[in-house]
Structure 1
Amino acid sequence: MTGHAHVVEAPDGASPRLALMLLHGTGGDEHDLVPLGREAVPDAVLIGVRGRVLERGAPRFFRRLAEGAFDEADLVARAADLAAFAEAAFARHAPGLPRAALGFSNGANIAAALMLLHPRLLDAAVLLRPMVPLVPSALPDLAGRRALIASGIADPLAPPAEGARLAALLRGAGAAVRTLAVPAGHGLTRADVSAAASFLAPAGVAG
């Protein structure tokens, strides 16, 4: 499989029940969220993916014009490219399993874009410190899809108001959305790991 640098990790000694795609923040790589993903879902097949856009040498999943201003045409094209990669990766490494994504910051934004632009790809998404990536001209049908949005109360980059806007957008498309306000800034905390674990528990997405 070509196109995106990635890493795949099967669960250790357990039958997998979930395929979890991990999408890093700006400057990260395919390994960044593997420990968080494994702790949150010990019995998941983890697929860590590296973004293909470089911003001053830092990997991202799509271009931006300035802080908080996204290149929407590039976002749409990169989301289509990532969706095609993910379809192939899920089919190869986790056939028949429920599909989820866990993204942080830029990775959360591309995961939200996948839900809005490719609504059949994912069953659920954990969006940590997201913004609204784009507002499609027509909302998709996200009935039966689920999302967790975790915003940092003191986050100057992706403030809680952005998380609330994204939650309203996804709910408007029919998704079931859970929101969480974490006492933190843009960085991740133990509360994010616990929330992801609860959201992706067997009684949830794979129940």
Structure 2
Amino acid sequence: MALKKKLGLGLASAALGLSLVAGGTYAYFSDTEVTANTFAAGTLDLSVDPTTIIDVQNIKPGDWMNRSFELQNNGTLDIAEVVLSTSYTVTDANGDNGAEDFGDHIRVNFFWNEDKALLGPLSPDQVVFQTTLSDLQTMTPDAVANELFIPWLEERGGLNTGDSDKLYVQFEFVDNGEDQNIFQGDSLELEWSFEATQEEGESR
């Protein structure tokens, strides 16, 4: 009798185990939805036209050269500012410049940014700011500000997607009224680099 009882209990336990396994695989209703999500980064694409702003030969003290160029935003993101960096190298033709820097004698006269002028120029050739090439090397102005070098007159600078700013500038070989013969035959290679930066992030 005890053996039958043990067998019965064993069979009952096995049956219970099978029922638990079966219960664990019992089918139930379900529904699944899949979302398709995308993060696509925009682009900053600044171009300068023309890429050579000035190329002039045989200048002498007192000469000036007016030039213009465009900064264009061809990207998909608005540009907050365009920082201008200046560097140059001088070739001393006669080796007699000594401590004199040809860049001290080339003055840059910046005119109003007509596309951003808040007050508008009083005359077409009005100079907003002037400095020498040597001093400009230590500056990093925003080239697309409303009024270059005069931030307190600005509303909003920057360059929106698809927009362009036309800038006017004058280079002047300053005649200082003194002997400048040491610069005869010299040349100066100027590089202007324009770096565009994005606007601040925002809720999207």
TM-score tier by shorter-chain length is under 0.3
If the length of structure 1 is used for normalisation, what is the TM-score?
Answer: 0.27
The higher radius of gyration belongs to 2
More helix by share: 1
More strand by share: 2
If the length of structure 2 is used for normalisation, what is the TM-score?
Answer: 0.27
Could you say which structure has the greater relative contact order, defined with CA pairs below 8 angstroms and 6 or more residues apart?
Answer: 2
